[in-house]
Structure 1
């Protein structure tokens, strides 16, 4: 006989996962207290149907310790045939008044940032996606050694409907 609490838990899990029909991949990695410029966040995505269009997002969780208005990232995608595509991306992370953008009711915000829109993976197989911060202070050539305020970095892939 199934306990009532077990049944409620199963129904809750089914409800939560069925609401997100577009999600194909959604994974986060913790950064720690600071994100070092040499620290690379890596994900492995296995493409099974290269005919479908997808939206790819970099997802960032950051808090009030994030000191900049923008975020610069270098994202590298290695395809199954070892071809590598490198993109340098810039995202706005704070409003002009300094308040953080993103979703969340606490001081931690989640930002779902477009990486590739209406993208079709060229081949079936494993893709290795590496994300590295490339923030620089205004007027400086060297990158910021350690970036405060970013707590988690993620990759999300959704079907285009």
Structure 2
């Protein structure tokens, strides 16, 4: 009986420690904006542009921008070429960049983290200097010739100080 109580106490302490550690890791003050947009199950339309409206609180700060992609097993290619650009409160299309996100190796093995047919990959999209606090609009389109691109589940943007 004492042994059972001892194990329950150890288990309870372990769970509390695990909860506290995960709570501390979730509080990432460096991340200013992080969100995903889900795409239709049938696929990402070639003409569809994804818009991300990020409220940026600090001016004169250098931010790291990254693009995150969640793909399914039915994505037909190794790479995903993307066009990313953004608008500031004063001007449109300030910075434009083409990114090549490698999702699978030459043997067709998915490179991202995941399981159960869904994988997440992250690619740095560079650094931007925010001149004025306000709402910035990031835009992403895919550059493949497919009218409907299957297998992309979600696209995300992350801004970190």
TM range (shorter): 0.7 to 0.9
* TM-score, normalised with respect to structure 2: 0.79
**Partner SS for 1:123:** coil
**Partner SS for 2:81:** strand
Q: What is the CA–CA distance in structure 1 between the aligned matches of 2:121 and 2:86, rounded to whole Å?
A: 21
**1:32 maps to 2:34:** no
**1:50 maps to 2:52:** no
Whose Rg is larger? Answer: 2
Does the aligned pair in 1 maintain the 2:60–2:129 contact within 8 Å? yes
Per-residue CA deviation, residues 58-88 of structure 1 (Å, 9 max, x unaligned), is: 1110011111011111112011112313222
Equivalent positions of 1:4-153 (< 5 A) are 14-15=23-24, 17-18=26-27, 20-33=28-41, 34-84=43-93, 85-117=95-127, 119-135=128-144, 143-153=145-155
Q: What is the CA–CA distance in structure 1 between the aligned matches of 2:159 and 2:126, rounded to whole Å?
A: 9
Q: CA deviation at 1:13?
A: 7.8
Unaligned regions of 5+ residues in structure 1, if any?
Answer: 1-7, 136-142
Q: CA deviation at 1:22?
A: 2.4
In proportion to residue count, which structure has more helix?
2
* TM-score, normalised with respect to structure 1: 0.79
Does the aligned pair in 1 maintain the 2:50–2:140 contact within 8 Å? yes
Q: CA deviation at 1:46?
A: 1.6
Instruction: Point out the more displaced range, 147-156 or 100-109.
Output: 100-109
Q: CA deviation at 1:144?
A: 1.1
Say what the alpha-carbon RMSD is for the aligned residues.
Answer: 1.9
**Partner SS for 2:29:** coil
Equivalent pairs counted in the alignment come to 142
Q: CA deviation at 1:96?
A: 1.0
Q: What is the CA–CA distance in structure 2 between the aligned matches of 1:21 and 1:108, rounded to whole Å?
A: 28
